[in-house]
Amino acid sequence: MAEVPTLYAWLGGMPALHRLTQTFYARVAGDPTLAPVFAHMSPEHAEHVAEFLAEVLGGPSLYSERRGGHPTMIRHHLGRQLTEAARRRWVELLIDCADASGIPDDPEFRSAFAAYLEWGTRLAVINSQPGAEVTEEAPMPRWGWGEVKGPYVPRG
């Protein structure tokens, strides 16, 4: 049996993630729900998100090596008080942009991808609320094809 590819390899690697995040953040600017959330994003934001998604989906550890890993991502959400409406819109728009940017649309991939988006955005909302703290030893999440590995537990 051939080795099962990572989600990162299946979606087309960094070129596909660059297309996806560039398409997404170009649309965010005109979105009434998301534009205020991202009003002050840096020009490099789409690249950073592409690197993070690459690592989570089984690709190179660029985000950890260049940006500080999962604790850094958590820090970017602290105090932002993200809403459920913004979370849902983020997921909806990213899925629309996946369609528009040629990300594979087979059910197995999209199921795994959507599951990560749901999980990751819910974690972002939790980490954006008052009192949230960063666990410096928090491991980078690694997402696969739907196998259950138990709950995510930050170390520390």
**Count of beta carbons in the 10 Å neighbourhood of residue 18:** 17
Q: Which domain holds residue 66?
A: 8-127
pLDDT at 69 (0 to 100): 86
Residue 146 maps to a domain: no
pLDDT at 94 (0 to 100): 98
Predicted confidence (pLDDT) per residue in 105-146, tens digit? 999 999 999 999 999 999 999 999 999 999 888 888 999 998
On whether the CB atoms of residues 95 and 43 are closer than 8 A, the answer is no
Residue 148 maps to a domain: no
Q: Pick the residue with more confidence: 153 or 68?
A: 68
pLDDT at 1 (0 to 100): 53
How many domains does the chain contain in total? 1
Task: Tell me: pLDDT of 152 over 80.
Answer: no
Q: Please give the Cα distance from 116 to 146 (Å, whole number).
A: 9
Domain of residue 109, CATH code: 1.10.490.10
**Count of beta carbons in the 10 Å neighbourhood of residue 70:** 24
Residue 64 maps to a domain: yes
Angle (nearest 5°) at CA 19 between 18 and 24: 100
Predicted confidence (pLDDT) per residue in 127-136, tens digit? 999 999 998 8
Residue 15 maps to a domain: yes
Where residue 91 falls among pLDDT bands split at 50, 70, 90? very high
